Structure 1
Amino acid sequence: MADPITPAISDRICKHMNEDHQDAILLYAKVYGNTPDAQVAQMLSIDPQGMNLSVQKDNNTIPIRIEFDHQLKDSEDAHHTLIYMIKQAKGK
């Protein structure tokens, strides 16, 4: 059974993404965060409505909020949504 997206689940997802999928986070920032010149990105938090990133661009760190196209139901929905977003971004 999937977990609801609590702060603890957000931390777990962010830790996994930051450690294992930095390229995906950078792609989220570039495509969905409208920051094509982003150089480094980190996922700070995720909630049912969206995700918060910290992006480095031109020696500046800027926060970016990316809204999802639907409200996430749980951690499994988050997993599938993040994968779908990467597939869509790579197609652009």
Structure 2
Amino acid sequence: MSESFSPQISDRICRHMNEDHAEAVLMYAKVFGKTTTATAAEMVAIDAHGMDLLAQVDGTATPTRILFDHTLQDAEDAHHTLIDLVKQARQTGK
């Protein structure tokens, strides 16, 4: 994990996403993690290259790694990238 994504920053982003944007995390799992039958998802880690989710699929916790289309520079880049991914997910109609 690069310095721009210390464990503390990863934890802060994950906590925020899970508490305030659970619907977006589920969309990430369904659309980009290809777990279309997921009923819930939790972001467990984020780094400069991707995010790790734990999706609930048929009652089973399923680890899912989603890679970003570029290397994130910092937490602000992560913020913008996560917003862009939500927009992309919504456009898929899922």
TM-score band w.r.t. shorter chain: over 0.9
* Alignment correspondent of 1:55: 55
TM-superposed CA distance for 1:59, in Å, is 1.0
TM-fit CA distance, 1:63: 0.2
Q: Take 1:69 and 1:54, find their aligned partners in 2: how far apart are those partners?
A: 20
Gaps of 5+ in 1: none
Partner of 1:29: 29
Task: Give, in whole Å, the separation in 1 of the partners of 2:35 and 2:56.
Answer: 10
1:76 offset after TM fit, Å? 0.2
Q: Which stretches in structure 2 are left out of the alignment for 5+ residues?
A: none
Q: Distance in 1 between matches of 2:29 and 2:57?
A: 11
Partner of 1:20: 20
**Whole-angstrom distance in 2 between the partners of 1:88 and 1:58:** 25
**Structure 1 ranges of 4+ moved more than 2 A:** none
3-state DSSP of counterpart to 1:63: strand
TM-score by length of 2: 0.93
Q: Deviations over 1:1-50 (max 9, x none)?
A: xx821111000000000100000000000000011100010000000000
**Percent identity of the aligned residues?**
56
Residue 11 (1) aligns with residue 11 (2): yes
Aligned to 1:72: 72
Q: Could you state the TM-score of these two structures normalised by the residue count of structure 1?
A: 0.95
- Count of paired positions: 90
